[in-house]
């Protein structure tokens, strides 16, 4: 999915050696669907030619504030209004200082003052320059004004030093730019999510459970919080840290999970990512079951159906926008479509758990989302964090359309 589809990005290029990465950045932004206009400082032009960036962005590069021809084509105020995001990569120490002081002595700094769009800086400089108190004071000032900083990263530098000050790689910058737009997607909304397995007790020491690691649900909770939602995460027994700004409720059994979800209602969106046990032992033995030779070599456990948490919440009068998961080992899309209908869902996320490189317990996933019109949207194999951010953007989009 193109996370920056039709987003208009003004890419400012300052005068640092990292400017060579800006060429790649233009490509990555466009790969994600963005329209890119490049503005270069005079320093930037010393490191990479405007022609390169013109060819890659598909538009003439904006260079001078006082160029009548450029101003006639798209003036600096027009460019400032056109932008959905102003991203400056690389941002030098000098640019940070000028921006912190509100200096408007070239096209890029003027544009920053003139725009209402969010502004993001990708600093790139020698580690001592980054650590200098003047630069750090400028950083604090800029952040206090709501300007975002992407990086810098730590590592080896072009000058031979090692430390903080390396510009982030183009891929990371493009993802961070996409995150800027997702941040507000779920602002003001309450999202409830279940994750992990449930554990159904047989006796005080034994239980029935499954292989769910909870990783996908936790990644979704994190992505939803990043997208601005108030997130309640109802988690079965898993060993995962709680994502930032997420309210976590730990539960053990399916019935506990339902009780916790009902207590968390009302919510605007419900994502059921938990692998809930369909059955539980009818009675939990009060003491550890003993081997009973009179009953031969077998053990008969009478099981009863657990409540369906997703169908219960999706069937309420104050029904949230409901998203289910279908983890299947065969007939994936057919079973998923049936579940969407039977459980009265808005969307279902189908994943093939027969494939060991994705799904249960693995670090990566690949899923297909099916809607009520049976349209399928495929998200190809990537880390669960990446898939989660894409899914949250997709779900938010559909929620707002509904
Ligand atoms: O019917 P099945 O278990 O395959 O459905 C999977 C979907 O339903 C998942 O979203 C899962 O979280 C949810 N579910 C539930 N409560 C159950 C069983 C499944 O919420 N008891």
Residue spans of the domains in the chain: they are: 2-179, 190-287+297-401
Chain segment 307-359, per-residue pLDDT in tens:
999 999 999 999 999 999 998 888 988 999 999 999 999 999 998 877 877 76
pLDDT (0 to 100) of residue 292: 84
Give the fold, CATH level 3, of 190-287+297-401.
Rossmann fold (3.40.50)
CA distance 26 to 34: 9
Residue 100 — φ and ψ, nearest 5°?
Answer: -65, -35
Looking at residue 157, what is its pLDDT? Answer: 85
Q: What percent of the chain has pLDDT over 70?
A: 99
Pick the CATH number of 2-179 from 3.40.50.1950, 3.60.10.10, 3.40.50.261, 3.30.230.10: 3.40.50.1950
Is residue 181 predicted with pLDDT exceeding 70?
yes
Distance between Cα 276 and ligand 1 center (Å): 6
The yes-or-no verdict on residue 263 having pLDDT over 90 is yes
Q: How far is the CA of 21 from the centre of ligand 1 (A)?
A: 45
Q: Exposed (0-12), middle (13-18) or buried (19+): which is 220, by Cβ within 10 Å?
A: buried
Q: Are strands 162-166 and 153-156 parallel, antiparallel or unpaired?
A: antiparallel
Is 190-287+297-401 the same fold as 2-179?
Answer: yes
Instruction: Taking residues 195-218, report their average pLDDT.
Output: 96
- Decide if 180 is catalytic: no
Ligand 1 pocket list (CB less than 6 A): 194, 254, 272, 274, 276, 278, 306, 308-310, 324-326, 339
How would residue 182 be classed by pLDDT, with cut points 50, 70 and 90?
low
Distance 287 CA to ligand 1 centre (A): 30
In angstroms, what CA-CA distances link 108 with 2, 266, 356?
A: 27, 47, 50
Least confident of 46-55, 172-181, 303-312, 342-351: 172-181
């Amino acid at each position: 999915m193109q996370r920056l589809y039709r987003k208009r990005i003004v890419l400012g290029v300052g005068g640092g050696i990292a400017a060579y990465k800006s060429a790649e950045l233009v490509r990555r932004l466009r790969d994600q669907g963005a329209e890119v206009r490049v503005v270069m400082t005079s320093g930037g032009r010393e490191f990479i030619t405007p022609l390169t960036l013109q060819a890659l962005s598909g538009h003439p590069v904006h260079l001078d504030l006082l160029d009548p021809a450029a101003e006639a084509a798209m003036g600096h105020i027009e460019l400032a209004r056109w932008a959905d995001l102003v991203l400056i990569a690389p941002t030098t120490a000098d640019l940070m200082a000028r921006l912190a002081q509100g200096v408007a002595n070239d096209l890029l700094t003027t544009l920053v003052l003139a725009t209402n769009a969010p502004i993001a800086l990708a600093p790139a400089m020698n580690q001592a320059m980054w650590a200098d108190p003047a630069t750090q004071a400028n950083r604090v000032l800029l952040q206090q004004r709501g300007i975002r900083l992407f990086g810098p990263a730590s590592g080896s530098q072009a000058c031979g030093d090692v430390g903080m000050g390396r510009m982030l790689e183009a891929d990371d910058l493009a993802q961070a730019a996409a995150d800027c737009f997702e941040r507000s997607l779920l602002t003001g909304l309450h999202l409830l999510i279940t994750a992990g397995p449930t554990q159904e007790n047989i006796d005080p020491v034994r239980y029935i459970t499954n292989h769910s690691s909870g990783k996908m649900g936790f990644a979704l909770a994190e992505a939803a919080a990043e997208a601005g939602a108030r997130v309640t995460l109802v988690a079965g027994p898993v060993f995962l840290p709680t994502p930032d700004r997420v309210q976590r409720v730990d539960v053990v059994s399916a019935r506990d999970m339902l009780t916790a979800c009902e207590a968390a209602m009302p919510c605007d969106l419900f994502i059921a990512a938990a692998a809930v046990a369909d059955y539980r032992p009818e009675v939990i033995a009060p003491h550890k079951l003993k081997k009973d030779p009179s009953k031969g070599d077998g053990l008969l456990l009478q099981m009863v159906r657990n409540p369906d948490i997703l169908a219960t919440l999706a069937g309420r009068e104050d029904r949230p926008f409901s998203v289910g998961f279908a983890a299947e080992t065969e007939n994936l899309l057919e079973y998923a479509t049936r579940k969407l209908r039977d459980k009265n869902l808005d969307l279902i996320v189908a994943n093939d758990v027969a494939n060991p490189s994705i799904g249960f317990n693995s670090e990566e996933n690949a899923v297909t989302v099916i809607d009520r019109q049976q349209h399928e949207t495929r998200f190809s194999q990537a880390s669960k964090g990446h898939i989660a951010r894409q899914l949250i953007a997709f779900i938010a989009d559909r929620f707002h359309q509904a």
